[in-house]
Amino acid sequence: MEQNEKIKYVRGMFNEDLKDVNNLIVLNEIKVKYLGKKGITQDLFKVMKVLDKKEKKEYGFLLNELMREINQSLTTLKEELELKELEMKLTHEKIDVTLPGLNITTGAPHPMSKIIDEISELFIAMGYDVISGPEMETDLYNFEYLNVPKHHPARDMQDTFYITEEMLLRTQTSPAQVRTLLANKEKGPVRVICPGRVYRRDNDDATHSHQFAQIEGLVVDKNISMAHLKGTLEIFAKKLFGSDREIRFRPSYFPFTEPSIEVDVNCFNCNGNGCAICKQSGWIEILGAGMVHPHVLKMCGYDSEVWTGFAFGMGVERIAMLKYGIPDIRDFYTNDLRFVKQFDQFEGGE
């Protein structure tokens, strides 16, 4: 019964090997050694072929018993080792669940970025390009090309930070009109908005800041009339402040537009009935605008008999203050994250 002895021998060897198993990796090696495709028990099965019926029965029985034992031992040991490893991990990686969690704060867009994006998108949808111009401008573009020669009284409308006699911090985004018209070599149609910072020598208070943002708009084409301006600004007001809004034009004066107007929107708070926000008037001023002065067109190389256009300019902080109910313009610049965070919830226009 040489073959039966072999089984005994393998059993002895297995039990010896098992004593050395102290982790799951070694356990797996042992498993492969005995039960793998090329494992020891496979050799034992091969013996079957050469045995007669009686021997086969006896040998088969012993072999099955051995297989069962090996499987059983490995499974039991595996469970034990897994438990041991888990316990080790738990003692090493103890977590104090009573510690306060890490407070992960997410950023929020600044209300100024939010409103500029919203207004830009609104005009992009109407076919406008968004352009930018330098904040340090020449007197020429900021004033002279805009119909304000040196010593013109209109210069008093905007108290200016001069850097040199010719260089200044732009007081308005309107020089972007000049730059756009001059750069348009074919003297063809133009439809742009220009958001950007502007500077004026003002004493800062709740509604004034020496630095603020404007968005300028300019459209030049053949047969552009005031009706186009009105239609455009009406869409703008309704999209930004709600579909119930109406606008009205009031005559005004800007040197580079003729006629010039100021644009009011009926109060979104009281619907025009009169409240604190609209100072009981029912209307809130939102921007200045007008038809581009023929002289400005001419200076920029456009034939003012053929081309007409409109322009508008708004103070962005003012629009944001109205839309979000911000009482003090200085809140935009004091970098208080609690202030910025509040606007996370505001969705875009309609």
Under the binding rule (CB under 6 A), the answer on residue 312 touching ligand PHE is yes
With CB under 6 A as the contact rule, the residue among 255, 290, 302, 329 that binds ligand PHE is 290
With CB under 6 A as the contact rule, the residue among 141, 236, 241, 254 that binds ligand PHE is 254
Under the binding rule (CB under 6 A), the answer on residue 257 touching ligand PHE is yes
- Residue 194: closest CA among 281, 267, 133, 105: 133
Closest separation between CB of residue 99 and ligand PHE, Å?
A: 55
| Bridge partners (DSSP) listed for residue 226 | none
Q: Give the range of 3-11, 64-72, 308-316, 324-332 binding ligand PHE by CB under 6 A.
A: 308-316
**C-alpha to C-alpha distance for 350 and 348, rounded to whole angstroms:** 7
Q: Which is nearer to ligand PHE, 41 or 172 (CB)?
A: 172
Q: Which is nearer to ligand PHE, 44 or 229 (CB)?
A: 229
Q: Give the range of 27-35, 107-115, 182-190, 305-313 binding ligand PHE by CB under 6 A.
A: 305-313
Under the binding rule (CB under 6 A), the answer on residue 313 touching ligand PHE is yes
With CB under 6 A as the contact rule, the residue among 142, 174, 180, 308 that binds ligand PHE is 174
Q: Which is nearer to ligand PHE, 111 or 196 (CB)?
A: 196
Ranges within 198-227 binding ligand PHE (CB under 6 A): 216
Q: Which is nearer to ligand PHE, 74 or 299 (CB)?
A: 299
x-or-dash string of contact with ligand PHE, 87-116, rule CB under 6 A: ------------------------------
Closest separation between CB of residue 235 and ligand PHE, Å?
A: 18
Q: Are 157 and 200 in contact (CB under 8 A)?
A: no
**C-alpha to C-alpha distance for 248 and 291, rounded to whole angstroms:** 16
The number of angstroms, rounded, from the C-alpha of 292 to the middle of its chain's C-alpha atoms is 36
**C-alpha to C-alpha distance for 284 and 248, rounded to whole angstroms:** 10
With CB under 6 A as the contact rule, the residue among 41, 142, 160, 172 that binds ligand PHE is 172
Size of the site for ligand PHE (CB under 6 A): 11
Under the binding rule (CB under 6 A), the answer on residue 272 touching ligand PHE is no
Under the binding rule (CB under 6 A), the answer on residue 236 touching ligand PHE is no
Cα distances (angstroms) measured from residue 283 to each of 119, 215, 220, 329: 21, 21, 29, 20
HSE value, Cβ hemisphere, 13 Å, CA-based, for 277: 23
Binding-site ranges for ligand PHE (CB under 6 A) = 172, 174, 216, 254, 257, 288-290, 311-313
